[in-house]
Amino acid sequence: MDILQKYWQRGRDLLGSDYAIMGGAMSWVSERNLVSALSNAGAFGVIAASSMPPSLLADEIKATQAMTEKPFGVNLILMHPQLEELIEVCRDTGVTHLVLAGGIPKKPTIEQIKSFGAKVIAFAPTAAIGKKLITMGVDGIVIEGNEAGGHIGPVSTSVLAQEILPVITEVPVFVAGGIGRGEAISTYLQMGASGVQLGTRFVCAEESIAHANFKQLFIKSAARNAEVSVQYHPDFPVIPVRAIANKASDAFMQFQRETVHAFFEGKMEKKEAQLAIEHFWAGALRKAVVDGDVEHGSVMAGQSVGMVQRIQSAKEIVDELVTQAAYYLEQNKAA
């Protein structure tokens, strides 16, 4: 495994973990059990704060701290109405790393976090935004391609890597989206990445609290089954969501249609209609992950879902990825 160290040392140094493998923050899935298991396995678990109120996040952080002495992070959604309070919770509980998602953070937000010594990691959809984030003080960047699960951008991981890795060298860059094996990890490390982020690959960890039905659908699914949601009306843009196609996909189109018509008939304000459309997936995701309704709930998954073959412990998955990555580098060195 020593061969990996020179490639991801900067990522390890930033995260404080044995391996520069971040767990993707998945609502309802990335909680104390999976997060602590990933950190204990040498990776870097990340709590998905999602729409949690401050008190619930505080409980989740403390529970995770009771399950691991290793470092882990907290993913905060920038549009959360209580963002400042959530950051204060992270300060008060001694969180060392915050991952900011769902937009471009404002400088005061970054300054608030750095004032208590925590590291800031943010998402950069372009090289220009990455450069801007660096001038604002972020300590690390994630670039995530549209092969990922959940809310996605328009550009593939391989294209983002080619555009961004050669020009963003000031801070560690973590590549995400569609990564399911160690060979892909090594390839991005060789291109200049300091680490990676994986979500889909960890859903079927033994420690993941996702419902058995949710896990079994992951195991049965192929890459082509993880489809992107479709926007119904140009005046009501939606951030595309990648999930395994089911009745919820059809229901989302129907919901958009009904909501847009309600607006045009004067029954709803435009902002109210937009929020209703955006919030559709939150309830649908819980229905699938927690309740196990994989027909009518949202089974968010990246295209790497085809590489999820069975239920394994978090340590087994992490060890497998690291072994594959190291072997690939050794083979290339020999060649």
Instruction: Please give the Cα distance from 156 to 67 (Å, whole number).
Output: 36
The tally of CA atoms less than 13 A away on the side-chain side of residue 70 is 22
Q: Which residue has the tokens 């073959």?
A: 309
Instruction: Please give the Cα distance from 43 to 15 (Å, whole number).
Output: 9
Q: Report yes or no on 39 lying in a domain.
A: yes
Instruction: Please give the Cα distance from 49 to 132 (Å, whole number).
Output: 25
My answer on whether 126 and 188 are in the same domain is yes
My answer on whether 260 and 330 are in the same domain is no
8-24 per-position pLDDT tens digit:
999 999 999 999 999 99
Q: Output the pLDDT for position 109.
A: 98
99-158 per-position pLDDT tens digit:
999 999 999 999 999 999 999 999 999 999 999 999 999 999 999 999 999 989 999 999
**117 phi and psi angles, rounded to 5 deg:** 85, 5
Instruction: Please give the Cα distance from 102 to 122 (Å, whole number).
Output: 9
My answer on whether 49 and 187 are in the same domain is yes
Q: What is the mean pLDDT of the chain?
A: 96
Q: Are 189 and 4 in contact (CB under 8 A)?
A: yes
201-217 per-position pLDDT tens digit:
999 999 999 999 999 99
Beta bridge partners, 196, equal 21, 175
Q: Report yes or no on 125 lying in a domain.
A: yes
My answer on whether 135 and 247 are in the same domain is no
CATH of the domain at 197: 3.20.20.70
Amino acid found at 227: E
My answer on whether 228 and 327 are in the same domain is no
My answer on whether 285 and 314 are in the same domain is no
Q: Output the pLDDT for position 200.
A: 98
Q: Output the pLDDT for position 334.
A: 60
My answer on whether 237 and 199 are in the same domain is no
My answer on whether 135 and 248 are in the same domain is no
Domain that holds residue 156: 2-209+307-334
Query: What is the number of structural domains in the chain?
Result: 2
pLDDT-based confidence at residue 220 (cuts at 50, 70, 90): very high
My answer on whether 180 and 255 are in the same domain is no
Q: Report yes or no on 214 lying in a domain.
A: no
Instruction: Please give the Cα distance from 291 to 306 (Å, whole number).
Output: 23
My answer on whether 72 and 139 are in the same domain is yes
Q: Report yes or no on 302 lying in a domain.
A: no
My answer on whether 283 and 317 are in the same domain is no
User: How would you list the strands of the sheet with 46-48, edge to edge?
Assistant: 21-23, 195-198, 173-176, 140-144, 119-123, 97-101, 73-77, 46-48
Residues 185, 304, 175, 6, Cα dihedral to 10°: -10
Beta bridge partners, 143, equal 175
My answer on whether 273 and 144 are in the same domain is no
Q: Output the pLDDT for position 100.
A: 98
